[in-house]
Structures are given as C-alpha cells and as structure tokens.
Chains A and B, each alone.
Chain A
Amino acid sequence: MYDELGERGFVPVTVALDQSLDAARPYIERAQPKHPALIDTEHVVADLFNIVNVPTMVWIDERGRIVRPNDAQFGTDTFVALTGRPSAPFLAAIRRWVLRGEGAMPAEDVRADQVLPSREQQEARAEFTLAWYLHQRGSAAAAARHFERAGRLAPGDWTIRRGSLPIRGIDSMASEEFLALWQEGVPRYPTRDLPES
C-alpha cells in the first residue's frame, strides 16, 4: 500500500503496543517497512488516543487533524474468519482518501464517534504502568496484583487485559484467560462504517 500511495502524499505509521522489542521484531523484519514502524513499550499512544484494542486505525490529515477516529480495521485478511472484517473495503477507502480526498469525516462527526477516556480508564492505565515497571524490576507478584487491578478498572481494554498476558507468562491466544476474554466479547469502537465508493 505504501509502495503504491507513498508518492501520493500518504504514510502509515505503525505502533506496536508490545512490551518487548523481540516480540514485535519478527513481524517488522518480515514486512521490511519503509514507513515508520515504532515500538511503544509504555503504551504512550494507547494513553494519548484512548486505544483499547488492536488493530486500531486513526486517519490524520495533512494538517495533523484527526479525520476518522479510532476504528478496528484490518490491512490483511489473516484473521478475517474471526473478525468478519475483510481488508478490501478498508484498503479501497484508504485509496479514495489519498487519491480523491474522500472519506474524511466532518469535525462534528469525528467528535460524535470519539470515545473519551473515563476516570477509571485513566486509573487503569496508571495501574498498568505501575505493574509494568514492577515487572521489569523483578517484582512479579506485585506486578500481577496491579495488572489485575488495571483489568478490573477497565474491563473493556484489551491493551491492558490481553496485552498483559504475555508479560505474565500466559499465552495470549491459547489460554483459559484469553478464552474468557473472548467470551466477554471483543471491545468495539462506535465509529461509523467506512464510506462506500
């Protein structure tokens, strides 16, 4: 996509919400990206944009304005059987945005669809930061308590609840913990559907 649209004034910026470079490294090395491919071990971007799951896409225009808020879209069809969200309509919408300037939402629609963080959500992020710091320092038991507390404060935030599983030595896909999350339901953003052509 970047190969095609990079010369038309488009750039993807990928941010891995991963606690270790080595977890993200193989994916990035395989993709050999020419665009910025960043690692966010402290969940800075999750905090700034109120991101609660991955993948999350945000459209930002030439002036640095958000023109389509947080939305779960997929650039490939790897997980389409699970997500029910094929990549083709999304990729077509990106093409129309870049080439024809279509699909940016008016400011009032962006605001209507944005989810702003609650106090509990921000408490959860502080607890997650504390847990991650304690974990890195070797205080695994204390860290686990704060990961749990973070998850209770923000039950709909998978960057906390699922993202903390590998740190705690729990498989993020094949584990009872993940199955329980899956049964609660995948967090969703209320962002309206992509415009059709």
Chain B
Amino acid sequence: MPSERMTLIDEGRVVPLDVTLHGDAVRISPDALAAALGWRLEAQGLCRGDVCVPVRDRAALVSPDGIDLAALARAFDRPLALDADERVAVLGASAAERGARLESLEAPDFALPDLAGRTHALRDQRGKKTLLIAWASW
C-alpha cells in the first residue's frame, strides 16, 4: 500500500508523518515512527532514549502494515483525535499525567508570547507571589 503524508500534532509540535491508511486505522512504519517521534519498538516495549513504556497488547499495536496509531496512543495512555479524511491527528496529554502534575502542587510551567511577540515563562516570576489569570474576549 502506498504511504501518504499525514500531519500529527504531538503536544503542540506539528510533525509530518508518512503513514498508510486502512479505513480509519493509521499505520506507521517503525522507521517513520522513530524519525518523527523518536519512539522505537523494542523487546521491553516502546522506547525513547532511556525511557521504555511497556506494551500490553502487542498484537493490536504491530501488524505487517506497521504500528497502529490508535494502539500507540493507548499504550501511552494518551488521547488521540483523528480525522483520517483530512489526514490530521492529535496526540493529546494523558489525564493521569496532567492530574499527577497538578497534585504535585508545583505549578506547571509554560511559555507564551505577549502582543509584541515576546515570550514569557511562568518560571520567570519565581520569587514573587503570582496570580495566574486566565481570561478571554469571549
């Protein structure tokens, strides 16, 4: 099956990905996965650098067509939003990971631009009492 170019958004990072489509199933060759996201399938599970995530259902993850994107998201316990027709997928953040970070009570850091395009990180305010105010024009 010929491969197609898809866009994957991985926690904000927009990554082009060569895949094959089987209905709504998206499969990625091990090499394409390693090139795009850095994960390799090893005996211990999915590994990137020193980190390995065990894979419970290897049969669902791996087929002759490649690694299944939905099963990959499940292995990482991360949500996957997919529009196969539009060739776009989003790997979101795991609820467990986000919850654990909030429960640690250490304010998660972020860096965002102001209107002038200057980036500010929350960390820059260490040493001050900081009131984080989320608002919107809507």
A-B interface pairs (CB < 8 A), number: 216
Asked if A12 and B134 make an inter-chain contact with CB atoms under 8 angstroms apart, the answer reads: no
Asked if A122 and B126 make an inter-chain contact with CB atoms under 8 angstroms apart, the answer reads: no
Q: Is B22 an interface residue (CB 8 A)?
A: no
Within A157-172, the residues touching B (CB, 8 Å) are 159, 162-163, 165-166, 172
Number of interface residues of B (CB under 8 A): 53
Residues of A within 8 A of B136 (CB): 16-18, 24, 54, 159, 163
Q: Which of A46, A48, A57, A119 has the most CB of B within 10 A?
A: A48
Asked if B89 and A130 make an inter-chain contact with CB atoms under 8 angstroms apart, the answer reads: yes
Q: Which of A64, A110, A118, A166 has the most CB of B within 10 A?
A: A64
Residues of A within 8 A of B80 (CB): 126
Partner of B137, one of A27, A69, A139: A27
Q: Is A40 an interface residue (CB 8 A)?
A: yes
Residues of B within 8 A of A66 (CB): 102, 105-107
Asked if B134 and A45 make an inter-chain contact with CB atoms under 8 angstroms apart, the answer reads: yes
Known contacts A25-B115, A142-B86; is-contact A54 B95 (Cβ 8 Å): no
Asked if B134 and A51 make an inter-chain contact with CB atoms under 8 angstroms apart, the answer reads: yes
Known contacts A49-B102, A125-B92, A134-B88; is-contact A57 B79 (Cβ 8 Å): no
Known contacts A126-B90, A129-B81; is-contact A65 B106 (Cβ 8 Å): yes
Q: Give A11's nearest chain B residue, CB to CB.
A: B128
Residues of A within 8 A of B131 (CB): 10-13, 57-60, 94
Inter-chain CA distance A99–B101, complex, in Å, is 29
Q: How far is the CB of A88 from chain B (nearest CB, A)?
A: 16
Within B83-138, the residues touching A (CB, 8 Å) are 83, 85-86, 88-95, 98-99, 101-103, 105-110, 112-115, 120, 122-138
Asked if B101 and A146 make an inter-chain contact with CB atoms under 8 angstroms apart, the answer reads: no
SS class, residues of chain B in contact with chain A:
mixed
Inter-chain CA distance A142–B94, complex, in Å, is 24
Inter-chain CA distance A58–B106, complex, in Å, is 12
Asked if B134 and A39 make an inter-chain contact with CB atoms under 8 angstroms apart, the answer reads: no
Q: How far is the CB of B68 from chain A (nearest CB, A)?
A: 17
Asked if B107 and A58 make an inter-chain contact with CB atoms under 8 angstroms apart, the answer reads: yes
Asked if A111 and B103 make an inter-chain contact with CB atoms under 8 angstroms apart, the answer reads: yes
Q: Give A59's nearest chain B residue, CB to CB.
A: B131
Known contacts A58-B132, A60-B129; is-contact A48 B98 (Cβ 8 Å): yes
Asked if B98 and A9 make an inter-chain contact with CB atoms under 8 angstroms apart, the answer reads: no
Inter-chain CA distance A23–B91, complex, in Å, is 27
Q: Is A80 an interface residue (CB 8 A)?
A: no
Partner of B94, one of A13, A122, A159: A122
Question: Could you list 7 further interchain pairs (A-B, Cβ under 8 angstroms) beyond the known A36-B120, A123-B81, A146-B83?
Answer: A42-B12, A64-B106, A110-B105, A119-B79, A122-B98, A130-B82, A165-B138
Q: Across chains A and B, which 9 residue pairs bring their CB atoms closest together, nearest first?
A: A126-B92, A116-B99, A172-B138, A126-B81, A38-B112, A48-B108, A130-B81, A123-B79, A36-B120
B interface list, Cβ under 8 A from A: 7, 9, 12, 14, 78-83, 85-86, 88-95, 98-99, 101-103, 105-110, 112-115, 120, 122-138
